[in-house]
């Protein structure tokens, strides 16, 4: 059939009913009415609830990947933050523990310094404060090194005390440091006075023990010495000021085969743990000068006899 013979007009079926513009106007009016009615009277609320209930499972399944990604990131972020907080807390705890130990050490040093200053107030001899650096390298001696020397006016022979009593004596002086021989050294001797009886004696370092003790030698077996007696410096040597605590009698052994008693004493000073000490000026510098010798060649005054005749 030739194309020209075909009818190009639409079938009668599509020509029936209202036009598209009419339909648009009608449906627009209905939509506007429904919106106003829903806003005013909420007529679409039940339908909306039914649709939301039906579609909730689908919405829940569709939102799971989003929630997993979101909460997964928050979980790892929280985990990292918690680990960082734990590490900071551990570091802070370690620092606080270190500070607590330092506080105890500082409190102990403060107490010792207070005692040292109180002892220093009772001593009229001038002195300089010093700090113990380390023990001497010789294992057969009891010596320590302090941080003061010739540059600070330290002299050989100067007595050294701590907050509890006599610690030793300066035996060697260097420009910046000095060597102090402790009273427990076997070659050290110090004149002492029994504070209870007033008897004088000499205390020597005891080399037979490693605990750091002294021995009161050449005391008669019947001497009035009891455990607990306090020994102080007698001051007769002109080196140590009188009245400084030295040691306390710990044990008295009276042997029948010997005329002398074996008396062991424990030092009052912290010979094994002294930190801050006081170096006193040598006692000989505070002694009065010796009188000048009498001149035998001086002329004799008139009226005086040059010599005595028997």
What would the pLDDT profile of 84-111 be if each residue is shown by its tens digit? 888 888 888 888 777 777 777 777 777 7
Average pLDDT over residues 244-256: 88
In terms of residues, how long is the chain?
Answer: 310
Q: Which residues pair with 276 in a beta bridge?
A: 131
Q: pTM of the entire structure?
A: 0.56
Please give the structure tokens belonging to residue 156. Answer: 């050989």
Place 304 in a pLDDT band, splitting at 50, 70 and 90: very low
Domain boundaries, the chain: 22-122, 128-285
Q: Over 50: is that where the pLDDT of 140 sits?
A: yes
> Which residues touch 229 (CB under 8 Å, ≥6 apart)?
194, 195, 196, 197, 248, 249
Asked whether the predicted pLDDT for residue 83 surpasses 70, the reply is yes
Give yes or no for residue 67 having a pLDDT over 50: yes
Domain 128-285 falls in which CATH fold?
Thrombin, subunit H (2.40.10)
* Sequence-separated (6 or more) residues with CB below 8 Å from residue 226: 196, 249, 252
pLDDT tops 80 at residue 184: yes
84 or 310, which is more confident?
A: 84
CA-nearest of 182, 261, 192, 263 to 230 is 192
Average pLDDT of every residue of the chain: 80
CB atoms within 10 A of CB 302: 5
Q: How confident is the model over 20-66, as pLDDT tens digits?
A: 788 889 889 888 888 888 788 777 778 777 877 888 788 788 888 87
The two tokens of residue 63 are: 């939102």
């Amino acid at each position: 059939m030739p194309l020209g013979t075909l009818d190009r007009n639409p079938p009668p079926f599509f020509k029936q009913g209202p036009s598209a513009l009419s339909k648009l106007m009608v449906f627009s009016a209905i939509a506007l009415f429904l919106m106003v009615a829903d806003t005013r009277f909420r007529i679409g609320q039940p339908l909306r609830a039914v649709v939301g209930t039906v579609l909730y499972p689908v919405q829940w399944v569709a939102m799971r990947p989003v929630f997993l990604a979101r909460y997964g990131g928050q979980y790892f972020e929280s985990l990292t933050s918690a680990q960082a907080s734990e590490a900071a807390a551990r570091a802070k705890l370690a620092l606080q523990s270190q500070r607590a130990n330092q506080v105890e050490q500082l409190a102990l040093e403060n107490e010792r310094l207070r005692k040292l200053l109180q002892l220093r107030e009772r001593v009229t001899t001038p002195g300089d404060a010093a700090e113990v650096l380390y023990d001497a390298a010789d294992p057969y001696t009891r010596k320590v090194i302090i941080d003061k020397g010739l540059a600070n006016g330290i002299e050989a022979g100067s007595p050294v005390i701590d907050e509890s009593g006599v610690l030793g004596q300066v035996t060697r002086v260097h420009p910046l440091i000095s060597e102090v021989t402790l009273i427990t050294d076997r070659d050290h001797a110090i004149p002492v006075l029994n504070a209870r009886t007033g008897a004088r004696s000499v205390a020597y370092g005891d080399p037979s023990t490693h605990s750091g003790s002294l021995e009161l030698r050449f005391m008669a077996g019947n001497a009035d010495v009891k455990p607990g007696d306090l020994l102080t410096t007698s001051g007769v040597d002109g080196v140590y000021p009188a009245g400084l605590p030295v040691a306390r009698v710990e044990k008295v052994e009276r042997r029948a085969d010997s005329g002398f008693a074996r008396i062991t004493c424990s030092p009052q000073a912290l010979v094994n743990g002294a930190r801050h000490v006081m170096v006193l000026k040598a006692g000989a510098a505070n002694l009065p000068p010796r009188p000048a010798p009498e001149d035998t060649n001086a002329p004799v005054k008139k009226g005086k006899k040059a010599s005595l005749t028997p």
